[in-house]
Amino acid sequence: MVPLCYCRFLDRLQLRELKDSLIIFCTDVFSAMLIRATGQNLRLAYLFSLESLDLVKQIEVSEILSSGDIAALIYLWNPFTIVACVGLSTSPVENMAVILCLYGACSRLIPLAAFGWVIATHLSLYPAILIIPVIFLLGCGPDAPPRKLFLQRHQQEEVLNQSKLPLGFSWRPIIHFAFWALLWSVYVLVLCGISLKQFGGIWEMFKSTYGFILTVEDLSPNIGVLWYFFAEVFDFFRNFFLIVFHVNIIFMILPLAIRLCHRPCFLAFVYIAIFSMLKSYPSVGDSALYLGLLGWFVNELADMQFSFFLFCGYFGVSLLSPVMHNLWIWRGTGNANFYFATAMVYACLQIILVVEGVSAMLNHDRKLRNLTTGKPRDAKS
Amino acid sequence: MATFINFKALVQLLLLPCLLLCSSIAYNSSSVKATMHTNNWAVLVCTSRFWFNYRHMANTLSLYRTVKRLGIPDERIILMLADDMACNTRNKYPAQVFNNENHRLNLYGDNVEVDYRGYEVTVENFLRVLTGRHETAVPRSKRLLSDEGSHILLYMTGHGGDEFLKFQDSEELQSHDLADAVKQMKEKHRFKELLIMVDTCQAATLFNQLQSPGVLAIGSSMKGENSYSHHLDSDVGVSVVDRFTYYTLAFFERLNIYDNASLSSLFSSYNPSTLMSTAYYRRDLYQRRLEEVPVTNFFGSVMETIHTDAAYKALSRKISDRSESQISLDQSIHREERRMLININVCDEIHDVSTEGQEDDSKCPWSAFYRKMQKIENVDSLVNYGLVAMLPFLVFSTWLFH
């Protein structure tokens, strides 16, 4: 159904560039299929954990939505994804690499996960932090309530049924992953070195790609917040603020990893949302990725607050932001503050989404804990 | 809990290199990039008016002629003359300005472009030229459009004193004004190196307050000394040149554009007994050794050219470019030799032997691979094959290890 709608959409506009964007369109469809597969994997894991906690009767299984289908549909029909596809951006390719990595890690296909991670890091630097959720996924398995919940449950019943306990952390898949990641990165770097010999070699490539991302040389306006800031910072403080902005992403890694280590896919979602917001050159293609991945957690995040506010906010910002850009750059009647205001609102909305998402997930865990410890609480409230 | 500590260590291990990477990249961007010397500018200022200050005009015009002769074009010279001597009513030789009583050289020739004339030469305009802060209507020919690769020669002559220079007989440029302007120029990257040459009484005091790096300054006399004129031209009726400028010109008249006399030879050519004052130069702000700096770095416009065989190659890989050009040259010679081989059996056998030799090498895969890599035209296809081969390798490895 979805490919048919896409094809009709493309034919209606009848532009040659859209037919050239067939590759990107296929990339998007492939990513959606991978999201669906991973979502089904997560749903199975969720059902398995419910079963092992003996909560199957208290939480209606039929109410558990098929998160894979929902996530895939959200990703494909997201206006941001469509805009990125029509604009022939390379964001869909970067998104596909990230999704490939997560799919490989969820399905224990270690070479695939390593490939996805290496390619995602090579294309844009920030997915490197996804190594932590991937390690958790390979070591522990997909999302599940905290391990101590299982131990508590079985201590209560004094029955240690091995088949119902989730596996402990194992290092072997991690070592495999490290080996494959090393192999793929050597492959990619050798190819880059060969093709760039005339242009200054690998070091020139790193300076132009990673160096450019980290030093934020070009201050063209974008939907992020760094350009406005760095346009007015004094040169003396520029390096300091560069470090501050990048450490802003880095220092959130550790606490989130500690708190959400039992839910690696959700941790990956939070990391993707954070670096999509705080990266030096964000775009709506990056938002398309985490908004799609939000669909994996429809069951757990059903009670998220401010969801309607966020939806209206995203809608409003995506309408106002091009208008303000046009006013400033093309008509000359506005100024940078108009456009930057929409960028700030966008950043605020992303922050609210992340914060509310994490608190809703933790509330869900708390609810599961209360149900397993048998406190008199209705499961449906 | 033991697993938690392992994770912490892991995450810390990941934090450290990221921080190091950020800091090293930040440090690299903050360290002074060696800018290339790309152009030369000259700002020549004569600050005195009235007929009896003829020699200051002649000083400035002589230096203008020298600087143009050695290569700096008019677009990059800002000439400021406070009065008009050539067309002065007192000038016996109308439209001619001489700096020697033998009248050999007419300094006011056909192509003198004066940018600031008469009452436009003020301290305010001078500082505006240096700092680049003009009104919007000022034309480009009156602006000092230097950039971070510029070497600037600043020559000032007139009447001066202890830490000041007199402009138009009515205002003064003080040494801290000049130092402030130079500091602003340095902040705005308006020069790579600056040579200040001052020919006035007590000239060396004018750059007492300078602090910016990359500045070299020479004055015709020290504190308490006067700078004297060289000789009186009885025909024109006034002194026509100052001693310091006269000996500077004597040094430059011996040079042409191809000589590479150094700044230290210029500075050591001043003899205090003939100058009747001590020419003092200040080099503590200048990092390079004066013996290595050719005078044409400031007084002329001689640029270093880098020859590259092909266009659009990165400048930083000069060495690899040369080696690649040598390799391609060798290959082309080899190909030519092959073409020159006539159909003689012996030559054919040699040809076959050489190809066989190549095939033998290919049995050792590394040398064949390396030779293949050096052929530039094969690189793109190799990379394409590599990229395409990645997908089946991925599928195969995934199937094998699932």
Q: What is the pLDDT of residues B361-395, one digit of tens each?
A: 445 566 666 666 566 567 788 888 888 888 899 99
Per-residue pLDDT band for B157 (boundaries 50, 70, 90) equals very high
- Reply yes or no on whether the pLDDT at B303 is more than 50: yes
Q: Are residues B22 and A187, on separate chains, in Cβ contact within 8 Å?
A: no
Cβ within 8 Å of residue A32, ≥6 positions away: A2, A72, A73, A75, A76, A292
Mean pLDDT of B127-135: 93
The 10s digit of each residue's pLDDT in A319-347 is 999 999 999 998 889 899 999 999 999 99
Record the tokens describing residue A333, joined without a space: 């009647």
Instruction: Give the closest-approach CA distance of A321 to chain B in angstroms.
Output: 31
- According to DSSP, residue B294 is labeled B
For residues B127 and B63, what is the distance between their CA atoms, to the nearest angstrom?
21
Cβ within 8 Å of residue B107, ≥6 positions away: B58, B61, B62, B64, B65, B97, B98, B99
The H or E element spanning position A338 is helix A336-372
Contacts of A261 in chain B (CB under 8 A): 7
CB contact B374 to A (< 8 Å): no
pLDDT of residue B5: 45
Q: Are residues B11 and A198, on separate chains, in Cβ contact within 8 Å?
A: no
pLDDT of residue B13: 53
Per-residue pLDDT band for B325 (boundaries 50, 70, 90) equals very low
Tokens 């004004």 — which residue? B177
Contacts of B401 in chain A (CB under 8 A): 109-111, 176
Longest Cα–Cα distance of chain B, Å, equals: 105
Selecting among B134, B159, B176, B231, the annotated active-site residue is B159
pLDDT of residue A218: 87
The 10s digit of each residue's pLDDT in B39-52 is 899 999 999 999 99
Flag the least confident range among A182-196, B107-121, B324-338, B376-390.
Answer: B324-338
Q: Are B162 and B223 in contact (CB under 8 A)?
A: yes
Q: Are B21 and B96 in contact (CB under 8 A)?
A: no
Mean pLDDT of B169-188: 93
- Reply yes or no on whether the pLDDT at A130 is more than 90: yes
Q: Could you confirm whether B56 is annotated as catalytic?
A: no
For residues A377 and B24, what is the distance between their CA atoms, to the nearest angstrom?
55
Tokens 């970067």 — which residue? A94
ipTM above 0.90, yes or no: no
- Best of B10, B186, B397, B399 to substitute, by most chain A Cβ atoms within 10 angstroms, is B397
Per-residue pLDDT band for A12 (boundaries 50, 70, 90) equals low
- Reply yes or no on whether the pLDDT at B305 is more than 70: yes
- Reply yes or no on whether the pLDDT at B19 is more than 80: no
CB contact A26 to B (< 8 Å): no
Per-residue pLDDT band for B116 (boundaries 50, 70, 90) equals very high
- Best of A112, A235, A278, A279 to substitute, by most chain B Cβ atoms within 10 angstroms, is A112
For residues A219 and A231, what is the distance between their CA atoms, to the nearest angstrom?
7
- Reply yes or no on whether the pLDDT at B191 is more than 60: yes
Contacts of B3 in chain A (CB under 8 A): 169
Give chain A's mean pLDDT.
87
pLDDT of residue A3: 53
Higher pLDDT, B360 or A224: A224
The 10s digit of each residue's pLDDT in B197-224 is 999 999 999 989 999 999 999 999 999 8
Q: Are residues A199 and B27, on separate chains, in Cβ contact within 8 Å?
A: no
Tokens 């006034």 — which residue? B238
Contacts of A280 in chain B (CB under 8 A): none
Q: Which residues pair with B165 in a beta bridge?
A: B160, B173
Whole-angstrom CA distances from A46 to A67, A146, A239 are 11, 12, 45
Flag the least confident range among A35-44, A199-208, B315-324.
Answer: B315-324
Per-residue pLDDT band for B27 (boundaries 50, 70, 90) equals very low
Share of chain B above pLDDT 70, in %: 75
The 10s digit of each residue's pLDDT in B240-278 is 999 999 999 989 988 877 777 888 999 889 989 998 999
Residue A276 one-letter amino acid: S
A176, closest residue in chain B (CA to CA):
B401
How many CA atoms are closer than 13 Å to the CA of A108, on its beta-carbon side? Answer: 10
pLDDT of residue A103: 95
For residues A58 and A45, what is the distance between their CA atoms, to the nearest angstrom?
17
Cα A54 → chain centroid:
31
Neighbours of A152 (CB within 10 A): 14
A79-98: buried (b, 16+ CB within 10 Å) or exposed (e) per residue? ebbbbbbbeebebbbbbbbb
pLDDT of residue A166: 55
pLDDT of residue A50: 85
- Reply yes or no on whether the pLDDT at B284 is more than 60: yes
pLDDT of residue A81: 94
Category of B306 on φ-ψ map: left (φ > 0), alpha (ψ -120 to 50) or beta: beta
B11 phi, psi to nearest 5 deg:
-70, -40
Q: Are A202 and A192 in contact (CB under 8 A)?
A: yes
Please give the CATH topology (third level) of the domain spanning B39-299.
Rossmann fold (3.40.50)
Cβ within 8 Å of residue B248, ≥6 positions away: B63, B197, B266
Higher pLDDT, B328 or A19: A19
The shortest CB-CB distance from A194 to any of B8, B317, B373 is to B373
Neighbours of A30 (CB within 10 A): 14
For residues B173 and B70, what is the distance between their CA atoms, to the nearest angstrom?
29
Tokens 């991690």 — which residue? A174
Instruction: Give the closest-approach CA distance of A142 to chain B in angstroms.
Output: 16
pLDDT of residue A144: 83
Higher pLDDT, A252 or B6: A252
B386, closest residue in chain A (CA to CA):
A191
The shortest CB-CB distance from B22 to any of A108, A194, A214 is to A214
DSSP letters for A250-264 = HTTHHHHHHHTTT-H
For residues B11 and B3, what is the distance between their CA atoms, to the nearest angstrom?
12
Q: Are residues A198 and B313, on separate chains, in Cβ contact within 8 Å?
A: yes
A211, closest residue in chain B (CA to CA):
B25
pLDDT of residue B334: 46
Per-residue pLDDT band for A152 (boundaries 50, 70, 90) equals confident
CB contact B327 to A (< 8 Å): no
Residues, chain B, total?
A: 402
Q: Are residues B394 and A115, on separate chains, in Cβ contact within 8 Å?
A: yes
Pairing status of strand B77-81 against strand B164-167: unpaired
CB contact A257 to B (< 8 Å): yes
Record the tokens describing residue B225, joined without a space: 């000394």
Q: Are residues A215 and B376, on separate chains, in Cβ contact within 8 Å?
A: no
Q: Are residues B380 and A195, on separate chains, in Cβ contact within 8 Å?
A: yes
CB contact A194 to B (< 8 Å): yes
Instruction: Give the closest-approach CA distance of B29 to chain A in angstroms.
Output: 8
Cα A309 → chain centroid:
21
CB contact B7 to A (< 8 Å): yes
The shortest CB-CB distance from A239 to any of B12, B29, B379 is to B29
